[in-house]
Amino acid sequence: MAKKVLVGGGSGLVGKQLVKLLEKRGYEVGILSRSPEKIKGVRAFEWNPEEGFIEEAAFEFDHAFINLAGSGIADKRWTEKRKKILISSRVDSAAVFAKYAEEGLYRPESYISASAIGFYGNRGNEWMYEDSTQGESGFLVECTVAWENAIRLVSKSGIRTAALRIGVVLTPEGGALEKMLLPFKFGMGNWFGSGEQYLSWIHIDDLCRMFLFLLENPSLEGFYNAVAPNPVSSKDFTIAIKNAKDSNAILMPVPAFTLKLGMGEMSSIVLEGSRVSSQKIEEAGFTFSFTEAESALRDLLAK
């Protein structure tokens, strides 16, 4: 009988691909959604993390719960209202699971969650490992620390808990890469500010395989960085895009003050960065398919 895996956030960019990978691997997959009637092709169940509700019929998916839930960090300008939504959409989904687990209502064998490298903040050239300290300031740090505190609540329930601190996910279907590619349509390519800040990236195929890796290795617990082994500067990443596209685009910086005027506090997403290590997940036995930015981009742009 197929093992049953429940996915929160299964209709997002990463979630859709992960669901396909799980099904290909032989798992039976269910999705938690606020609007389950809109989900096609996969069994879907209602949940409302803000109100602490998960549809009881979902509890038969007792092998693992993979939680990818969270509103898009860069989807809208960071007003105070938006920042509260970004935090609550991450914290509440973990908190409702912890509540159900503690009450014995839903206790799958494993809880596997997304987190983010925003935990480390803006750290320059310093290598960041899973035991590195959290960043000192900034909304991304605040958001991720609150998120991880909620994940730790789950681990206290006695369920095997693991989480991936995800870097910039490269996918051909949206996300950051889509925005980075836009200027190339007009014969230009841009890096942001000085261009020296590190961009710790991961190919979406490797990210989905990494979730599967945690699922299928029950001895693994705690936090793991989900980034490729070779982070690059913002400027070098722009050059890698140009090379991958075999483009004649003119490359130039977007001044920091322009980004701050246009994006406000959210400009920190592109103006700050951290050099994040993949050593821990590699030592656990995970093998990357894409270790260099240019080869990853060539693969994605060919799709």
pLDDT 10s digits, 156-205: 999 999 999 999 999 988 888 998 999 999 999 999 999 999 999 999 99
Q: How far apart are CA 90 and CA 67, in angstroms?
A: 9
- Please, are residues 212 and 25 in contact by the beta-carbon 8 Å criterion? yes
pLDDT 10s digits, 10-32: 999 999 999 999 999 999 999 99
- Please, are residues 14 and 208 in contact by the beta-carbon 8 Å criterion? yes
Which residues, in sequence order, are CB contacts of 84 under 8 Å at separation 6+?
A: none
Q: Say what the pLDDT of residue 196 is.
A: 96
Whether the pLDDT of residue 218 is over 90: the answer is yes
Alpha helices in 71-203 (DSSP H): 80-102, 139-155, 175-181
* CA distances for 67 relative to 131, 165, 186, 201, angstroms: 22, 13, 38, 20
Which residues, in sequence order, are CB contacts of 267 under 8 Å at separation 6+?
A: 256, 259, 260
Which residue ranges make up each domain of the chain? 4-168+200-227
Binning pLDDT at 50, 70 and 90, where does residue 1 land? confident
Q: How far apart are CA 21 and CA 24, in angstroms?
A: 5
Helices 204-215, 13-24: crossing angle, 10 deg rounding: 50
Whether the pLDDT of residue 262 is over 90: the answer is no
Burial label, 162 (beta-carbon count in 10 A; 0-12, 13-18, 19+): buried
The share of the chain scoring above pLDDT 90, in percent, equals 91
CATH placement of domain 4-168+200-227: 3.40.50.720
Whether the pLDDT of residue 117 is over 90: the answer is yes
Q: What is the mean pLDDT of the chain?
A: 95
pTM of the model as a whole:
0.96
Alpha helices in the chain (DSSP H): 13-24, 80-102, 139-155, 175-181, 204-215, 234-245, 256-263, 268-271, 279-283, 293-301
Produce one character per residue of 170-198: b if its CB has 16 or more CB atoms within 10 Å, e if not: bbeeebbbeebbebbeeeebbbbbebebb
Q: How far apart are CA 143 and CA 90, in angstroms?
A: 8
Whether the pLDDT of residue 303 is over 90: the answer is no
Q: Say what the pLDDT of residue 173 is.
A: 85
pLDDT 10s digits, 44-70: 999 999 999 999 999 999 999 999 999
Other beta carbons less than 10 A from residue 133's beta carbon: 10
Tally the residues of the chain. Answer: 303
